[in-house]
Structures are given as C-alpha cells and as structure tokens.
Amino acid sequence: MFGLLSVGKMPGRTGLENHTAGPGFILLGFSDHPSLQGSCFTVFLIIYLMVLIGNSLIALITVMDSSLHSPMYFFLRNLSFLEICYTSVTLPNMLVGFLMDDGRISFLGCAAQLYFLVLLGSTECLLLAAMAYDRYIAICDPLRYPLTMNGGHCVRLVVGSWMVVVPVQVGQTYQVFTLPFCASHDLHHFFCDVPPLLELACADTFWNLVTLYTIILFFAILPFCFIVISYTK
C-alpha cells in the first residue's frame, strides 16, 4: 500500500527526463528496466482480468442463488465489489503506463487516486472485521445468530465500514496535497501513495506521518487484532 520516491531522470521516457516542477507527477515504475515493460503489461493484465472475472462471478452467483442469500454471502458480495474497485484504482493506469511508456499523471488525478486507494483499503480492513464478527456470532452464539445478524444490522455494518472512513481519508488526502512539492516530481513507484508523496514534499511532514500511522493503527492494526481474537475464540 505504500512506496518510495526519489529524485532522478527517467531512462527510456523521451522528452520527460528534465521534468522537475511542471504540473502533476511522473510514475517511473520500471522505467530503468525498459525490457520489462512488455512482460509487466502482460502479467498485470492477466491479474486484473482474473480479479474482474473472479469477483464478478462471486457477486453474480451470490445474487442469483437464493440459497446464498445469507449474511455471510452478503458480506462476501460486498467484498468482491470492493476488490474490483480497489484494483481498478491503480491497475488500469499502470497498464496504460506500461503500454504507452508514459507515466504522467495530473495533480488532481494523483490526488483522486490516492484518496480512493486509501479509502478502499481502509474500508476493506473494516469489512473483513465485520465478516469475522459475523462468523464469531454464527459459531460462538448460534442461537442468537438469526436475531443478531439480521438484514438491517448487516447493512449497517457495511455502510458503516464505508462511511467511517470517508471523512478521515478526505482529511488525509487534503493534508498531503496542501504540502509544497518543490523538488522533482518523479515518483519511483507505480501509483500515487502517501509515503512517496511525503518524501517529495519540501516541508515538515511530521504531522502527516502522525496522521498516517494513526490511520494505520485504527483502520488496519485494530481490525486485524479483532479478527485474530475472534478466530481464537
């Protein structure tokens, strides 16, 4: 979910080598290994198609088969939709970059990509915790399961997983993109992410790092701990 950034030239990207302070950023990826571009395009295209087809089939089957209209498959259907969205934030842009040998991305495009990346990533962690809660109730308190995990409660858990994250990630994205970027705009990464952008900024990023680690704590580490505890029980 996170990457690195450094200042430098772009081997193999004609006309962009001297880009330093223009609008937007340049995602370098494997630009220093041009022979890998075609192979990477093929591999990531296959991965993306597998993600789209596999998760679409899961969602379709759980909708069409009435025997799968249960809380567990309701959460699984939402997770499949989330996986499609999550991979679609970065992979199509990466594929275009590999194919066209052009990693340019606008300032607003980078901000949008970062926002949806962290939004969907955090939502997925919370949704996985909700799924673990569903299995915990089903196994440890089966007599109350139909009452506890009713349709309304499942919807609230899914909607809550989305809505809790929105204002937090809006704030983080705003905090990152109000920093001054006065150094090179070349990112040695495949997509816009928080740590590479913070390393690019020519300002004090202490509070940005505090925000980042706090978000990781609440939206990644704590849900993971909850999942481990629920499965232990």
Domains assigned to the chain: 25-232 (1.20.1070.10)
What is the band of 20 on the pLDDT scale with cuts at 50, 70, 90? very low
Q: Which amino acid is at 124?
A: E
In this structure, are residues 137 and 157 in contact, taking their beta carbons and an 8 Å threshold?
A: no
Mean pLDDT of 151-168: 95
For residue range 117-135, list pLDDT tens digits in order. 999 999 999 999 999 999 9
Digit-coded pLDDT (tens) for 172-219? 999 999 998 876 788 878 899 999 899 888 889 999 999 999 999 999
Predicted TM-score (pTM) of this structure: 0.84
CA distance 149 to 157: 10
User: What is the CB neighbour count within 10 angstroms for residue 22?
Assistant: 12
Q: CA 128, CA 219: separation in Å to the nearest integer?
A: 11
Mean pLDDT over the full length of the chain: 87
Cα distances (angstroms) measured from residue 17 to each of 8, 26, 104, 207? 8, 10, 12, 32
Q: 40-52, pLDDT tens digit by residue? A: 899 999 999 999 9
Q: What is the pLDDT of residue 190?
A: 87
Q: Parallel, antiparallel, or unpaired: how do β-strands 25-27 and 104-105 relate?
A: antiparallel
Structure letter (DSSP) for residue 37: H
Q: Which residue has the tokens 């940005």?
A: 208
Least confident of 72-86, 159-173, 188-202: 188-202
C-alpha distance from residue 121 to each of 89, 183, 203, 231 (Å): 11, 28, 27, 22
